[in-house]
Amino acid sequence: MQEWIDVHCHLDRLEGGAEKALQDALDAGVQRIITIGTEPADFPVVLELAEKFAPRVFCTLGVHPHDGVKYSDDVGAFLRQKATHPRVVGIGEIGLDYYYNQSPKEEQQHAFREQLKIAAEFGLPVEIHTRDAEEDTVQILSEFSGTVKGIIHCFTGTDYLAQNALDLGLDISISGVVTFKNAESLRNTVKNIIPLDRLHVETDAPFLAPVPMRGKSNTSAYVVHTAQVVADLKNVSLQTLSEQTKKNAEKLFFKLVN
């Protein structure tokens, strides 16, 4: 039986509510979901979801680069306080986004570094968002080489980013973007650069619904469509990919098995 782990989902934002999304996910073979905190206001929300829907739902807490200006010492103290919570499996979604620049670059970089320090301090993996900021992302991650593990989530970058992330000990997570018609470069990266034992699948729901669900609000159940494309690219069966990505997720997000 195939068992999937959606390593990046915004469960609090899914159409129809969390309970329906969880049932649909279960019907599709998605056994566990990591729901993502992106800014201080949603921390209590994702924590409540992870507690309410245990043991199937876990969460991360972090300040997204769009909200870099909201990072503060108080936020850092809260992250440290919750880092040992049994349902908090990582720090994220953190990183850099120079495409939208909704927070100044300096604020983004400061928040990124401070949260990487917290991840290193508590031995937690990170979920990283990076867009149009590959060189700075690699530079900052290199400062934490050997001390922080995690994933580049919803990877849509270049082979340069993929190879450097792998060299720095990070894994790579693939979303529904890999199914898009114009994503040939990404498919080549998945096929040729990312090893099977460093690979994850995610939805980033409610965003980026995969083909054949394009145009719909994404949900965790749709991760199977992304997985099928990834399995084909890696020339393995869906069952093999299921077993390997489960193993990868449990190794990286070690609280998934506690």
Give the tokens for residue 155: 């990877």
Is 200 known to sit in a ligand binding site? Answer: no
> What values do phi and psi take at 143, rounded to 5?
-65, -20
Q: Mapping DSSP to helix (H, G, I), strand (E, B) and coil, where does residue 135 land? A: helix
In terms of DSSP bridges, do strands 88-97 and 126-131 run parallel, antiparallel, or are they unpaired?
parallel
Segment (H or E) for 127: strand 126-131
Using the structure block, give the residue that is written with the tokens 């199914």: 179
CA distance 6 to 201: 6
Residues 154-192: b if buried by 16+ CB within 10 A, e if exposed: bbbbeeebbebbbebebbbbbbbbbbbeebeebbebbee
Please state, in angstroms and rounded to a whole number, the distance separating the CA atoms of residues 33 and 57: 5
36 phi and psi angles, rounded to 5 deg: -110, 130
Residue 64 marked in a binding site: no
Q: Which of 92, 140, 146 is nearest to 120 (CA)?
A: 146
Three-state DSSP at 161 gives helix
225 annotated ligand binder: no
Q: Is 110 annotated as a binding residue?
A: no
Q: How far apart are CA 23 and CA 28, in angstroms?
A: 9
85 is in an annotated binding site: no
Residues making up the binding site = 8, 10, 93, 129, 153, 204
Binding site feature residues for a divalent metal cation: 8, 10, 93, 129, 153, 204
